């Protein structure tokens, strides 16, 4: 009789343990079903990422802010403007070729000596990114900048006129030049805001947020 009682007790304990383990297994399965909801996962295009606004960018992975194109002179100045942000290794750059459509210039001088004198005068007035044209029909003209858009060229022309460069003018000019684009990985909202503020000080540039280039 005692043996039967012990057998029944052991059977009850085994059954209890099995049911508890099974319930735990089912509970874990239920939690997994509740947690994993693939229908709610959505991949965003670069355009959709950009539309999220700077406030949500820090929470996203593999997001980059690109600013450019910048001339060599503007590149040096832009680096100084970005330095207070302490970007470190988050800031990289890449070269890009741009076909310009407009330029701001002074008409050809009578000689190279005269053209060099004009360049020195322009630099003394605070105009950077100026150079003498060495060849072609515009030889000895002085370039005040090459731009992709007419609006950017007109902005540069207005700045030159304000500095007293009365004979400056703008016009179409096709030329391929190499510029720099800054790339900032995982930008914080304050970084995005600062770069967008800087765009207005660098005519012809733009700031774009999207997926980082895998190349």
Q: What is the pLDDT of residue 50?
A: 61
Bridge-partner residues for 94, per DSSP?
Answer: 181
pLDDT band at 6 (very low <50, low <70, confident <90, very high): very low
CA dihedral 139, 141, 147, 152 (to 10 degrees): -160
pLDDT band at 42 (very low <50, low <70, confident <90, very high): low
> What average pLDDT does this structure show over 166-180?
89
Q: Which of 36-50, 102-116, 200-214 has the lowest mean pLDDT?
A: 36-50
Q: What is the pLDDT of residue 72?
A: 86
Q: Which of 58-72, 171-185, 198-212 has the lowest mean pLDDT?
A: 58-72
> What average pLDDT does this structure show over 29-45?
48
Q: Which of 47-61, 96-110, 137-151, 156-170 has the lowest mean pLDDT?
A: 47-61
Strands 169-185 and 91-106: antiparallel
> What average pLDDT does this structure show over 100-110?
92
Q: What are the b/e assignments for 109-119, b being 16+ CB within 10 Å?
A: beeeeebeebb
Q: Which of 12-21, 97-106, 112-121 has the lowest mean pLDDT?
A: 12-21
Q: What is the pLDDT of residue 204?
A: 83
Torsion-angle region of residue 198: left (phi > 0), alpha (psi -120 to 50) or beta?
alpha
Q: What is the pLDDT of residue 201?
A: 92
Q: What is the pLDDT of residue 89?
A: 93
> What average pLDDT does this structure show over 167-188?
92
pTM above the 0.75 mark?
A: no
Percentage of residues in the chain having pLDDT higher than 90? 53
Residue 13: is its pLDDT beyond 50? no
């Amino acid at each position: 009789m005692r043996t039967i009682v012990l057998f029944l007790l052991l059977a009850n304990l085994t059954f209890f343990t099995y049911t508890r383990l099974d319930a735990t297994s089912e509970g874990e399965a239920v939690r997994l079903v509740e947690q994993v909801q693939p229908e709610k996962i959505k991949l965003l295009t670069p355009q959709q990422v950009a539309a999220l606004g700077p406030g949500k960018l820090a929470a996203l992975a593999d997001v980059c802010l690109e600013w450019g194109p910048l001339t060599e002179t503007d590149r040096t100045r832009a680096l100084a403007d970005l330095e207070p942000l302490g970007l470190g290794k988050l800031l990289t750059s890449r070269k890009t070729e741009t076909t310009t459509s407009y330029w701001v210039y002074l008409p050809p001088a009578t000689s190279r000596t005269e053209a060099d004198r004009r360049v020195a005068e322009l630099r003394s007035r605070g105009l950077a990114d100026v150079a003498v044209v060495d060849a072609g029909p515009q030889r000895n003209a002085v370039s005040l900048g090459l731009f992709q858009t007419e609006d950017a060229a007109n902005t540069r022309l207005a700045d030159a006129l304000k500095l007293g460069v009365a004979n400056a003018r703008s016009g179409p000019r096709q030329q391929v030049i190499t510029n720099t684009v800054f790339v900032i990985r995982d930008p914080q909202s304050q970084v995005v805001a600062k770069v967008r503020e800087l765009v207005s000080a660098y005519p012809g540039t733009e700031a774009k947020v999207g997926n980082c280039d895998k190349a």
